[in-house]
Homo-oligomer: A and B are copies of this chain.
């Protein structure tokens, strides 16, 4: 029996294992600072399939790296896990990267089950993190189990990143890269809904402080309402968004209405209904294209904000203050004709019986760090449902997780094999 066929049969037979593994992942409420439980489980799974495991609490040089961004000043109790299965050095190495941290479950009244139940119903497994991205992690581990059980030895190294902090700036992946765990290419099964994303939008968070002039609410004409001024800034950001998106010509973005959005996500201003507010804060997310540098994108935004004074004297006298803060996701990319793209695409066709959707993702992943800092071109491709990430009643479709595991197993097989390496290079 051909190797892929063996894998297919093995997976079909053992799919219950996959679902149970995913269930135990979801039952670990691995929100920020609570990742130790799932990391210990992952360490165990990796060791069972013959990986050498490195588990450590990130620190040291991480904190002073220019790409480091986190509100935390210690990762004590939040270990990273990296497992390595060395090849014979003749194959290409592959990084399989998945984050174990999940965003908070929110109001549990919005969930129809316990948010960490892992309940399976109608082929769907429910729970916080099921889609983002424990379904993807389980698919990768299941692929490794299949290869291990079938005694398939790869020539290239397989480096499994089980990282913390993806939801808050990527410190876990950065720590793994800085510890030397990069590779020839990487795969991250974030929830793409089985689309293949060779490019990922990066993003930066901005905060704008917009001034007004206070007055009593009975005589508002004596003041300047900062909310009104914030509205002008909001509309001006829409203009900048249009200018930036009019420049995008990459065919990968053909179907995307706004490839590089500027989203204002938070507004806050004033503290008394009877006063004219003198300060409004806007916070948002600034999309950065895979074909621009973060620095150039920042400079364009900064110049735009500084230019507000030319359109409105108020802003000349009271400049809007800009801060870059909090999270930053670097844009990520791999060439669309990169060999890993070809391998993944063909294996997708083999398993799914159709041509995959290949798009640029509208959000960043740790693939940006792997690309920019780790010099590891990255594809994002996973079974989760994009629109369910971060929402109540998040679930993942189990048949997609299985299919994804199969595609990943085939892809490891070909990418890491010396034969294919020679054949393609």
Chain A residues with a Cβ under 8 A of chain B: 201, 203, 205-207, 214, 216-222, 225, 227-228, 230-231, 234, 257-258, 261, 263-277, 280, 283-285, 287, 326-327, 361-364, 386-387, 389-391
Taking CB as reference atom, which chain B residue is nearest A201?
A: B218
Contact B216 A390 (CB under 8 A): yes
Q: How far is the CA of A70 from the CA of B128 in the complex (A)?
A: 42
A412 vs chain B, min Cβ distance (A): 29
A109 vs chain B, min Cβ distance (A): 16
Contact A203 B261 (CB under 8 A): no
Q: List 19 A-B contacts (CB under 8 A).
A: A203-B274, A205-B273, A205-B274, A206-B273, A216-B386, A216-B390, A217-B285, A217-B363, A218-B261, A218-B363, A231-B231, A263-B275, A265-B272, A265-B277, A266-B273, A266-B277, A273-B283, A273-B285, A274-B285
A259 vs chain B, min Cβ distance (A): 10
Taking CB as reference atom, which chain B residue is nearest A276?
A: B263
A268 with B265, Cβ < 8 A, contacts A203-B217, A234-B227 known: no
- Which residues of chain B have C-beta atoms less than 8 A from A390's C-beta? 216, 275
A267 with B264, Cβ < 8 A, contacts A284-B273, A327-B274 known: no
Q: How far is the CA of A391 from the CA of B225 in the complex (A)?
A: 17
**Max chain B Cβ within 10 angstroms of own Cβ: one of A261, A361, A391:** A261
Taking CB as reference atom, which chain B residue is nearest A256?
A: B219
Q: A267's contact among B207, B227, B284, by CB below 8 Å, is which?
A: B227
Main secondary structure of the interface of A (DSSP, over half): mixed
Q: How far is the CA of A364 from the CA of B205 in the complex (A)?
A: 42
Q: A265's contact among B263, B270, B285, B363, by CB below 8 Å, is which?
A: B270
Contact A265 B261 (CB under 8 A): no
10 closest cross-chain pairs (CB), A and B = A217-B263, A218-B363, A218-B362, A217-B285, A266-B270, A265-B273, A274-B285, A273-B283, A221-B257, A205-B273
- Which residues of chain B have C-beta atoms less than 8 A from A285's C-beta? 217-218, 273-274
A331 vs chain B, min Cβ distance (A): 11
A265 with B217, Cβ < 8 A, contacts A273-B283, A285-B273 known: yes
Q: How far is the CA of A119 from the CA of B387 in the complex (A)?
A: 62
A60 vs chain B, min Cβ distance (A): 29
Known: A218-B361, A266-B271, A267-B267. 10 other contacts (CB 8 A): A203-B217, A203-B218, A217-B363, A220-B261, A227-B267, A230-B267, A265-B271, A267-B268, A268-B268, A273-B327
A273 vs chain B, min Cβ distance (A): 4
Contact B273 A225 (CB under 8 A): no
Q: How far is the CA of A230 from the CA of B280 in the complex (A)?
A: 14
- Which residues of chain B have C-beta atoms less than 8 A from A284's C-beta? 217, 273
Taking CB as reference atom, which chain B residue is nearest A204?
A: B273
Q: How far is the CA of A5 from the CA of B362 in the complex (A)?
A: 83
Contact B216 A362 (CB under 8 A): yes
Q: How far is the CA of A274 from the CA of B205 in the complex (A)?
A: 8
A318 vs chain B, min Cβ distance (A): 18
A283 vs chain B, min Cβ distance (A): 4
Contact A269 B266 (CB under 8 A): yes
- Which residues of chain B have C-beta atoms less than 8 A from A225's C-beta? 263-264
Taking CB as reference atom, which chain B residue is nearest A241?
A: B220
- Which residues of chain B have C-beta atoms less than 8 A from A280's C-beta? 267
A356 vs chain B, min Cβ distance (A): 19
